Structure 1
Amino acid sequence: MNAQHDRLVQLVEEEVRSTAAYLGIERLRPEVLEALRAVPRELFVPEIKRGLAYADHPLPIGCGQTISQPYIVAVMSDLLGVEAGGRVLELGTGSGYQAAILAAMGVEVYSLEIIPELAERASATLEELGYGERVHIRVGDGWNGWPEAAPFEGIIVTAAAPGIPRPLADQLAPCGRLLIPVGEARGIQQLQLQTRMPDGGLSGCTLLPVRFVPVTGDLGQTLEPGR
């Protein structure tokens, strides 16, 4: 931990308070804040960008992809509500930073990345930091999830989708939560939080406007909440 980590946590906490009306929370769980302090974000960005690693905004990581704003990573990690020992599916490994935050919280992460170069780089970084045993990375299209590892207490989608992938909804455990940015590619999306109900349907809400890079690959069936 150092002053940069502490300053980042302060910035994220301020942003959470300013968006409390959208999020329904005014502060993040302690384990999320500790993970933000523990994970060295500079190792997940290109060397040329490391001077900006602790600014609270996204950064390019190559291959047309970005590392998400720390505020968004922290909020999504918190709202998943998964405790240490729980299992989370991540669609879109990217830099590996989101997976590292969850792993630092004691969560077991199954992460899918369609770009082999990013998957390889993220895997190496996570291994270097000692998170390799908690983060399982597979190269491939994430739309169909990771059925043999299901069910998951939480599913997090880190790319914009036109709707909720039906396979992901089916892989949620009862009362499991799904966080996903839904909307048009290259535009503004709405971050949705959906919970799987006892009957298998989804119930949830829209939280706040966000901007993510789009999901790539073959998009399959989507599911409307409540169906």
Structure 2
Amino acid sequence: MLRRFIRTKSRQLGSMAWRSHGVDNNDLVNNLYKNNIIKSKHVMDVMKRVDRGSYCPNNPYMDAPQGIGFGQTISAPHMHAHCLELLKDHLKPGTRALDIGSGSGILTACMALMVGSSGKVVGIDHYDGLVKMSIENIIQDGKGSLIDSGTIILLAGDGRKGYPEEGPYNAIHVGAAAPRLPEDLVNQLAPGGRMIIPEGPEGGSQSLNQIDKSLDGEVTRTMLMGVNYVPLDDLRQRGRFAEF
């Protein structure tokens, strides 16, 4: 049984969120920093080390979602930056993270650089072909050692169930909307951990929420902004693909 949420408040991204396009990866990240989406040098440095051009075949340095094949999209860079800022204090060296809807693999790679060689990041996606592609992307970006060393584990599965074998996790990122908070994911969140997850019905009102678990197990929710995500469900049974 989930413990009662004791806090709900709302935050929003700045109005410059969609205006951070760049001519290359460094320029894109610099513009995200200038527009106050990236707030810390650590997140800026990590995003510069993971070249979006290796994960996004079309218009990689536009600050907008783009198709990556398999009927899926990669999120806009400002959303990745925002999520990394929200999770950065939980992605310290030696910590564990879970990336649900890992898609192209770009956010998984960023998280892996943050947790370092003593940490671990598990990326889960519903579609086997996309998992294979994300592995190829990470290798193309010169980050294959993260996979070889076991710092990154990428696999196909039902994101609603998480991956308890490598938990509990200090940080969890979810890239699809759950109609209600999945209890399995909350159970896999470590005390003191944080999860970023969209919640709400398909086609209805959704919000990106921050879920924090205190050291004594109390769970709180902070509503961050309105969003529009595909549903976190068994997409393969529904005969469709996710757009994380």
Q: Report the TM-score when normalising by structure 2.
A: 0.77
Is the 2:32–2:78 Cα contact (8 Å) retained in structure 1? Answer: yes
Among 142, 161, 165, the residue aligned to 1:148: 165
Among 112, 134, 146, the residue aligned to 2:124: 112
Give the deviation of 1:68 after TM superposition: 0.8
Is the 2:200–2:206 Cα contact (8 Å) retained in structure 1? Answer: yes
Q: Which AA in structure 2 matches 1:4?
A: D
Structure 2: gaps (5+ residues): 1-21, 236-244
| C-alpha distance in 1 between matches for 2:63 and 2:23 | 15
Give the deviation of 1:197 after TM superposition: 2.4
For 1:15-26, what aligned pairs fall within 5 Å after superposition?
15-16=35-36
Among 1, 5, 10, the residue aligned to 2:30: 10
Is the 1:185–1:213 Cα contact (8 Å) retained in structure 2? Answer: yes
Q: Which AA in structure 2 matches 1:88?
A: A
1:190 aligns with 2:207: yes
Shifted more, 120-129 versus 156-165: the winner is 120-129
Equivalent position SS for 1:184: coil
Identity of aligned residues (%): 32
1:102 aligns with 2:119: no
Partner of 2:221: 204
Is the 1:157–1:181 Cα contact (8 Å) retained in structure 2? Answer: yes
| C-alpha distance in 1 between matches for 2:123 and 2:105 | 9
Among 70, 79, 83, the residue aligned to 1:76: 83
| C-alpha distance in 2 between matches for 1:92 and 1:186 | 19
Distance 1:127 1:85, change over 3 A: farther
Is the 2:128–2:155 Cα contact (8 Å) retained in structure 1? Answer: no
Q: Report the TM-score when normalising by structure 1.
A: 0.82
Q: Which AA in structure 1 matches 2:105?
A: G
What is the alpha-carbon root mean square deviation over aligned residues? 2.0
Give the deviation of 1:153 after TM superposition: 0.5
Is the 1:11–1:56 Cα contact (8 Å) retained in structure 2? Answer: no
Among 96, 112, 125, the residue aligned to 2:137: 125
Structure 1: gaps (5+ residues): 18-26, 219-227
| C-alpha distance in 2 between matches for 1:62 and 1:3 | 23
Give the deviation of 1:161 after TM superposition: 1.5
1:159 aligns with 2:176: yes
Superposed CA deviations along residues 118-154 of structure 1, whole A, max 9, x for unmatched, are 0011012223422313210111111111111111101
